[in-house]
Structure 1
Amino acid sequence: MQIETILPFDISNKYRFVESLVYKSMEKAVIFEKNGHLLITSKKNVEELQAGKIPHNIEDILKSRRFIIDKDEKEKSYNINIKPEFFMIDMTNKCNMRCEYCLRNTEYDQDSISYTKLDDIISFIKSYCKENGIKNISVQAWGGEPLLEKDKILYMVNKLKMKNTKVHFSIETNATLLTNNNILSMYESHVGLGISIDGGMNIHNKQRKFISGKDTYDIVINNMQETKNIYNNRIGTITTITRESAKKIESVIDNIVIDLGINNIKMNFVHLSNYRNCNDICLAPKEIAETELRIFRKIIELQEMGYSVIEQNMMAKLKNILFRKYTDVCLSCGCCGGRKMIVFDMHGNIFPCELTDQPEYAIGNIYNGIPLISQIENSIKGKNSFFDKKENTECIDCYWKIFCKGGCTVRVMSNKNNKDVDITECEINKILYPELIKLIIDKPEIVNKMLGWDGLYGV
């Protein structure tokens, strides 16, 4: 695929056209500029722009989407306001499995939240929503294995009800405890389920075993099918990709989508862990980017075969370039931990991410009497290193920095060779975003199917 560039040029003494990327098909074209604005137009219009001329029929829309700006205007930053809307509550660090890449200390640090602390966190969230007029929030109970504390999850759902705020509940589970009774309890309480499965039997059983060392695949598959029946197939899966499973990523996806009938999937790459020696199963940044491209191509292939499958990370990036607005805490505008997402530990301490529960990254706690937003602002001003700006010289000219903002904070902190930016996210974005732009113009019918609308027909 060839992505070309429209070089900046002056229109008059007052205006200039900003540098943009362009992809052209037979008749149509997409142009994209560094602040995240996109325009689908004719190939003829783009060729005029490449010749340094402004087509009169699109001049107004070029101005409104900021392809044309005042010559003296400085680049505006696209920032996310501090307004948490996604909350994670640590129910337990107990787990009945021992996955080879686990990011939590489930071996020795066995504990669960008390009802008293849970009540206090619920009251804190309700007060925050009332004081700030928050209309919608999402709350995820996590662990360990959250279903080990099923009763507390149901208690939380019952207690966390507000007159003027809609609450969306979810958990991610290893599915081994999804008995018929547990499934019904979650379904009747409107708790969304994400099920962890790493592929076919051999890959899954190697990576995800019970504490005893016994395999888990057959139990997971059986419970997943029961869950699908009760939830009318409205469940999703989370797959952790290791070096071994990356080699077979197409068959991994086929197994989940075709064999198991799941159409909402999420493919996450294994992180380095402080509690497991998993260095050998982690992939290098370029390997991750190459695997991400294979995932993209497989999803498109399945769409063309008639499977209505979406991959959540890819979907977030597609929405970035189409709508240029916040939709994902990790991928819409860089890491939004502490700004859009808040994590409560079992003692009422507040953290910006579930993967950073070390004391030095704490934002505050629910007992200090300070409003949540003020605690976050104080933590940023107090030089909490989690909020350090992530940028290097290569970011300056990058078209994707508007969405990336340096990438995943956890990856940056765990990368001992580079403290500037998340190199993995850089490698992914350089490959995936151009492919998404090409998809928009070449196969709008696929984009429409993935988005569940018909907004791109006729481009």
Structure 2
Amino acid sequence: MEIKVIDNKILSDGYVFTKSFAMISKNKVFLVNQNQGTTILLDKSLIDDFVNDWLTRIDENLFSKFIQRNFIVKDKKSTKVKLNCLPTFFLIDFTNMCNFNCIYCFRDLKNNREITVDHLDDICDFIVDYCKKYRISRITVQPWGGEPLLAYKKIIYCYNRITKFGINVNMTIETNGSILNEEIIKFIKNNNVQIGISIDGNEYLHNKQRQSKTCDFNLILKNIQILHKNNIKDISSISVVTQKGIECIDSTVETIAEVFKINNLKLNLVHNSDFKDSYAQFSDAEIEEFVYRLYNTIKKYRIKNQKIIESNIQQRIKNLLYRNNSNICLSSGCQGGYRMISFSSNGDIYPCEMVDYEEEKIGSIYSGRDLIDMLLESTHEKKYFQRKYNIKCDDCPWWYYCKGGCTSAIRYAKTTSGVDEIGCRINKKLYMLIVEDILNDNLKDVFKEDNDE
């Protein structure tokens, strides 16, 4: 597959064709607009191999399509994308206590603490007042830990306190899966709570990375089977992949899909942490192997008509096909702080999941200030909100979706490059695999979502 850069070009009547990248196969061309993230699939003959001023000779129909998708604009300045500052995703730090001791945990687990009812009341009321002021009727709340279900009674209390004011709460809980009882099951089932369970692979790999007597693989399997028996459908898995786990990708996917019967997966490469021993930096070859093996393993299951989804892959497919900006992390750069904030157990406010980093504090629920005012002020003052950039970004087709990658990951890695290096390398490999399938007409049948049928 050949790649060509189409630089900004002034056309007639004040129109401008904005910088784009062309992925060229034998018969087709897939165009990606760098600043807008829009795409279009064309027959190669329509654009005559990008020679002889092809832009001046395209027909009216194609010209209109380019305008609709912001490849061609009337004024180059209009290509700037505004980032709205209106959080609707709230992470609440219920406890930093955990019954596991995962080798890669990035939380500060010293000085065990759990949120008090008084602080929880105040955080809930702050969220409710904010939603009323800005007429927000639907939000997402994610209880955080540690292991959040150690504080499950307070999680239920939090949900009830916010929803009684008429606010629709989508609650999502990421848990190690070791704690389950009838009260938790009833709460999950009655309120359509989304459950993400940490599963790192087969029994040997899972137990090796968890290092705790309570993390027994078979206990997690038993609890997930109970969830299935109670007809709880919104179950997903989150897997952390270390260097040792890359060679086990096939086994990890097989274990989750066939043993745990979970069809919605997420596999993330491990990031370094200030609170655990550091990991060696992944090499380019290791990252490429991870992406290639994961993509083709998921593809193998899809070809067999087993509708499993790996959310990192699926979101990037959505980016290319729809550009719906739906994902806080992957659709249009990191939007932590703009669309997602966290509350520490004492009511301090942070962007994304930065509650262990005092220097990134945005403010406090007790300051008497408006949340948006605190956020806008922080965008000018806090390191977290500084622009992420490396000179290599200038020639990257995937800039719109990435914009330097995960800010929290950069913070954990203490990188000096200015961007999330792991995320960058994943994007470069994964997007090209997806585009190859688009150009070869393989994507629609293999990766079509169930709800698209």
Q: Same fold (TM over 0.5)?
A: yes
Call closer, same or farther: CA 1:47–1:251 in 2, change over 3 Å.
Answer: farther
> Within 2, Cα distance between the matches of 1:28 and 1:275?
49
> Within 2, Cα distance between the matches of 1:399 and 1:356?
33
Give the ranges of 4+ consecutive aligned residues of structure 1 lying more than 6 Å apart after TM superposition.
none
Residues 7-18 of structure 1: pairs in structure 2 closer than 5 A: 11-12=11-12, 14-18=14-18
> Within 1, Cα distance between the matches of 2:376 and 2:193?
31
> Within 2, Cα distance between the matches of 1:321 and 1:393?
23
Residues 114-263 of structure 1: pairs in structure 2 closer than 5 A: 114-161=116-163, 165-210=167-212, 213=213, 216-263=216-263
**Over aligned residue pairs, what C-alpha RMSD do you find?**
2.3
1:33 aligns with 2:33: yes
1:88 aligns with 2:91: yes
Equivalent residue of 2:79, what SS?
coil
Alpha-carbon deviations, 1:196-248, whole Å to 9, x = none?
000000100100132xx465111011111111222443210000111111111
Identify the range of structure 1 (226-235 vs 194-203) with the bigger mean alpha-carbon deviation.
226-235
Equivalent residue of 2:275, what SS?
coil
Preserved contact between residue 38 and residue 70 of structure 2 (Cα < 8 Å): yes
Specify the code of the residue in structure 1 equivalent to 2:429: I
Equivalent residue of 2:32, what SS?
strand
Specify the code of the residue in structure 2 equivalent to 1:452: N
Identify the range of structure 1 (18-27 vs 292-301) with the bigger mean alpha-carbon deviation.
18-27
Q: Unpaired segments of 5 or more residues in structure 2?
A: none
Alpha-carbon deviations, 1:125-174, whole Å to 9, x = none?
00111100113210011111111111101111111115553210111111
How big is the shift at 1:40? 2.6
Call closer, same or farther: CA 1:368–1:87 in 2, change over 3 Å.
Answer: same
Call closer, same or farther: CA 1:75–1:430 in 2, change over 3 Å.
Answer: farther
Equivalent residue of 1:87, what SS?
strand
Equivalent residue of 1:279, what SS?
coil
Call closer, same or farther: CA 1:162–1:37 in 2, change over 3 Å.
Answer: farther
Preserved contact between residue 9 and residue 18 of structure 1 (Cα < 8 Å): yes
1:57 aligns with 2:55: no
Preserved contact between residue 100 and residue 215 of structure 2 (Cα < 8 Å): no
Specify the code of the residue in structure 2 equivalent to 1:270: V
TM-score by length of 1: 0.91
Preserved contact between residue 434 and residue 443 of structure 2 (Cα < 8 Å): no
Aligned to 1:277: 277
> Within 2, Cα distance between the matches of 1:415 and 1:58?
45
TM-score by length of 2: 0.92
Preserved contact between residue 3 and residue 434 of structure 1 (Cα < 8 Å): no
Identify the range of structure 1 (248-257 vs 180-189) with the bigger mean alpha-carbon deviation.
180-189
Alpha-carbon deviations, 1:325-352, whole Å to 9, x = none?
3211211121111110010010000010
Aligned to 1:414: 412
Equivalent residue of 2:448, what SS?
helix
> Within 1, Cα distance between the matches of 2:90 and 2:41?
37
Call closer, same or farther: CA 1:278–1:95 in 2, change over 3 Å.
Answer: same
Identify the range of structure 1 (303-312 vs 267-276) with the bigger mean alpha-carbon deviation.
267-276
Aligned to 1:386: 384
Residues 349-388 of structure 1: pairs in structure 2 closer than 5 A: 349-381=348-380, 383-388=381-386
> Within 1, Cα distance between the matches of 2:13 and 2:69?
20
Aligned to 1:457: none
Q: Unpaired segments of 5 or more residues in structure 1?
A: 455-459
Preserved contact between residue 233 and residue 262 of structure 1 (Cα < 8 Å): no
> Within 2, Cα distance between the matches of 1:125 and 1:182?
24
Call closer, same or farther: CA 1:397–1:221 in 2, change over 3 Å.
Answer: same
Q: How many residues align?
A: 448
Equivalent residue of 1:290, what SS?
helix
How big is the shift at 1:190? 2.7
How big is the shift at 1:314? 1.6
Specify the code of the residue in structure 2 equivalent to 1:254: E
Preserved contact between residue 361 and residue 385 of structure 1 (Cα < 8 Å): yes
How big is the shift at 1:356? 4.8
Aligned to 1:298: 297
Call closer, same or farther: CA 1:334–1:439 in 2, change over 3 Å.
Answer: same
How big is the shift at 1:452? 2.7
> Within 1, Cα distance between the matches of 2:206 and 2:242?
11
Aligned to 1:109: 111
Specify the code of the residue in structure 1 equivalent to 2:409: R
Aligned to 1:307: 306
> Within 1, Cα distance between the matches of 2:13 and 2:164?
56
Equivalent residue of 1:452, what SS?
helix
Call closer, same or farther: CA 1:320–1:266 in 2, change over 3 Å.
Answer: same
